[in-house]
Structure 1
Amino acid sequence: MPSGNNLMPAGLKFMLLSALGFALMAACVKLVSASGMPIFQIVAARALVSLLISYADIKRKKIPVWGNNKPLLIARGTVGTIGLICVYYAIANLPLAEATILQYLHPVFTAVLALLFLKERIHLSTIACIVLSIIGLVITVKPNMITSTAVDLPTLSVGVAILGAFFSAVAYTIVKRLSRSEDSSVIVFYFPFIALPLSLILLGDNFQMPTLFEGVLLILVGIFTQIGQVCLTKAMQTEAASKATAYSYIQVVFSIILGAVLFSELPSVWTLIGGGLIIAGTLINIFGSKRGLAK
């Protein structure tokens, strides 16, 4: 008789751990930002931890650090840094569930960018994804268009969150191009390599000496991020990419739970409906594209 552990696919285990890691990372960002810690300092702390770990990984593999396509690697690091700053700002200024849901708009931008720059075919499922995501976005952000009793999310924070999703999509598109010529560890390395000095420059004289608790949270941001990335890679290696990506949406559930427990944030029914449409659209895109529903 199979044990409980054998009933759960390895890919699902790794993706659950990845989603939990990213959700805990977001919760730590929100906790430490609540103390007044500048966003740029949080980004720098995360970059420092990631830089040390990724550099050690490259040395373990005994491969060249700087890669082949340096201009595109630098572009990936720069775009990724801008996206991370936007995501952290959104986490700090929006409820955790809403910030997470808005980040999942990136498949829409990725589909359009892949069409424009990678010449990938667009599918009917992708069009359905875009339509459902836009409807879901409106319901989540501007529910008073439906009922006057609902409360809109702050426009600036929502705009920054959407920018974060866009720059994440740009980064994914660049990574897809780089994967043809670069080792994955080198691609990962360039992100903190660019993020650390750039965030320190933007931080300027606003450095805030962290308390012991804040210091622990900053370290945990880097550790939970690394757990999320490693488990995501493992999930992709042990499970079909479409299934692994579908599993990642459990992060929204984790974020709702953490938001309720740590910050007393309960998502509105409009957030749940809008977020459900965004997630449904992306899942349709994942499985529809896999079946080849071409336009």
Structure 2
Amino acid sequence: MDRLDAMRLFTRIVELGSFTAAADDLNLPRATVTHTIKRLEARLGAQLLQRTTRRVRTSREGEAYYSHCVRLLADVDAVETDFLQAAEQPRGRLRVDLPTQMARLWLIPALPAFFARYPLLELDIGTGDHFVDLLREGVDCVLRVGSLPDSGLVGRRVGTLDQVTAASANYVRKHGMPRTLADLQNGHFAVNWASPTTHRTEPLEFMVGRKRREVMLPGRVTVSGVEAYRGCCEAGLGIAQFPRYRVADALNKGQLKEILPTTPPPTLPVTVLYPPHRQMPARLRVFVDWLVEVIGKQL
């Protein structure tokens, strides 16, 4: 293994906190990983990593060496990117994480055209709405819906999603159709949503003109997964709010009924997030541009 590859291996161990995880991520035998780090430490004459039973941590020398490696590898990637961009042939593998239903309905059906345009690219796709630590998990970019915490990542707005307040047809027959926000306080229930990150129960939100109104309703069930949230709503357990595209099929079939359409929930931003680069790799740049293109056609 040459010096650059050894540096890449070292940085992945630091970022993942594990020899085994780095070996799996880079598809290397564990013995090769251990041997390479021993040779690296011997060549530098310093212990770079401190091993415990649970985690691998950097020594003071290792932390300094990691910072130098990150800068050097970024420069090497930037040089290679210049040549690849000049040749207009982005290549390599990208690890991305996408919202499950958006991936299934919009993005995956468009992938054949993407691969026809960029035949030298490969994608490793994860789906979900959970928090992803891009550096620790080796993910190149994530697509997320909704407000985002300050994470130090670069964000590019893709668009906004309209939302809808809905309840099942059976719920409306049993509890009636609310006509105003005040009606919600008279015998209505919500499928309560608990944030997977903060674990706080979120209120229903409505736009009255340009003002945002929050309404907290009692609920018999609280969930933190998008499929369970929709399932509970369809089962008649309460009122819920969704991006419209997620429930368009059920609304068209009459399984769900739209509630208070004149005071809809606020729109949701759609953002692609990726680590800061001095120069974005060509493979990541064209994928982000493609996301903007595909999602823009749906909004």
TM score, norm. by length of structure 1: 0.28
Which protein has the bigger helix share? 1
Bigger relative contact order, structure 1 or 2 (CA pairs below 8 A, ≥6 apart):
1
TM score, norm. by length of structure 2: 0.27
Work out which of the two has the higher radius of gyration on C-alpha atoms and give 1 or 2: 2
Which protein has the bigger strand share? 2
